[in-house]
Amino acid sequence: MGCAGMNAPRGGRATAVAAALVLTSLAGCWYQRDAVPHFLTSSPTEFAAQLAAPPGPEAAETRAEVDDLLALQAARTPEQVRAARADRKTNIEEFYAAAGLDLNSPPRLPRLQQLADRVEDDVKIYVRAAKDRFRRLRPYKIEPRIEPCIRNVQADRSYPSGHSAFGYGMAYLLGDMVPERRSALEARAADYARQRMVCGVHFRSDLDAGRLAAQRLLAEMKHSAAFRAEKAAAAAEVRGALGLP
């Protein structure tokens, strides 16, 4: 999961050009794996049309969201920046602790990892369709006083937040498997999504739309027999690792 293994070659001006290309690739790589959904059959275009449009760059709602981001920026600490940067990864292991799994000695969960990869693949297709429909600018493109603390999102649009959709998607997936941990998982998803505000690369409404996208897409996946079968196998694996019936 995620976009590991992309490195720019070294050497003079070519290094700078290659590095820029890598950053551009990183910005979009979450959306560029499989083009065909595993568990979803609805139209991504129709899905995008069901989402409410974000407020425009001059709207009062956007101004209020900008003010919130500036306040977060003024208050953020080096520790918060490190935590936000650490949460850049799209990997279900980011949610293991909230599920009650030991991060210091994480269990091997191949069925869960495979299912999470496929859910991520599907979610990204539909989020990309919404981003392409609304084409909302990143906060720092609207307000130059915003100084983002991550730099690999320049080539991508803001609404809805793919990071938020991924985080809530993983929380909802694990929450169905371990309902005993549902509250902790959803709290982790909220924190994971909010890191994008801490870093100044998403508006609050981007995160809310990402959460709504995850809710709708995970609900649709439950109509897929393949999804239900894979989720049952992954749930048995996870609950076994936790010592739960």
pLDDT digits (tens, 9 = 90+) for 178-207: 999 999 999 999 999 999 999 999 999 999
Q: Where are the domains of the chain?
A: 36-242
Quote the pTM value. Answer: 0.85
Q: What pLDDT sits at residue 126?
A: 98
Of 139, 186, 148, the closest CA to residue 167 belongs to 186
What distance in Å separates the CA atoms of residue 176 and residue 99, rounded to the nearest whole number? 11
Q: Are 150 and 84 in contact (CB under 8 A)?
A: yes
Q: Running DSSP on this structure, what letter comes out for residue 57?
A: T
CATH of domain 36-242: 1.20.144.10
- Amino acid 26 reads L
- For the segment 217-233, the average pLDDT, to the nearest whole number, is 98
Q: Is 25 helix (H, G, I), strand (E, B) or coil?
A: helix
